Amino acid sequence: MVIKKIKEEKVKDLDIRKEADILKKLHHPYLPQVYDFLIIDGEVFTVMDFIDGHNLGWYMESGTVFSEQQLLQMLLELCEVLEYLHTRKPPVIYRDLKPSNVMKKPDGKLVLIDFGAAREYRRYSDGDTVLLGTRGYAAPEQYESQGQTDARTDIYSLGVMLFELVTGESPHRLCPVRKIRPELSAGLESILEICT
């Protein structure tokens, strides 16, 4: 278990209680378990599982380019956790899928962390109240002031992130992956193009 102090600028920008409340309701092997949310002397903390390992951004920075087989395993695990989130009542839209928000544990399993941008989907809402996401990974609707994010938002970001992991290229330069790595399968290329 770990006690995580929330940075002051995040406390000002986001409803931290909302993030903790969302996480406390979720129970999945690819998500950290959040036990409590505390405010002590004006500082905000969450009590949650400690996730041992490195985030996928760390692997990218160390020069790792994942094989197709490794990528497919990650794809299966991330699709499983996204399906879990998207089938909650109400659905949870993650909205910030990127390498630094996915931990790889020593056993190779992934854990999706940092729910600061997550929101519960409201079917009859006209739009998101706050536009969030990370440039390059965020779906186009995350930059628009009208419309709301939904499960497709997370699928787009999944495709962008997997593109970066398998090519080592910036997500700002999306193209068919076999232009960069011709040895990859047409099937993988098709999956990533459908996502994005």
Active site amino acids: 96
**Token pair of 48 as six digits:** 């949650």
42: left (phi > 0), else alpha (psi -120 to 50), else beta? left
Residues 6 or more apart whose CB falls under 8 angstroms from that of 157 comprise 94, 95, 96, 97, 98, 133, 137, 138, 139
CA distance 31 to 114: 10
Token pair recorded at residue 136 = 């390059």
Cα–Cα nearest to 6, from 32, 40, 44: 44
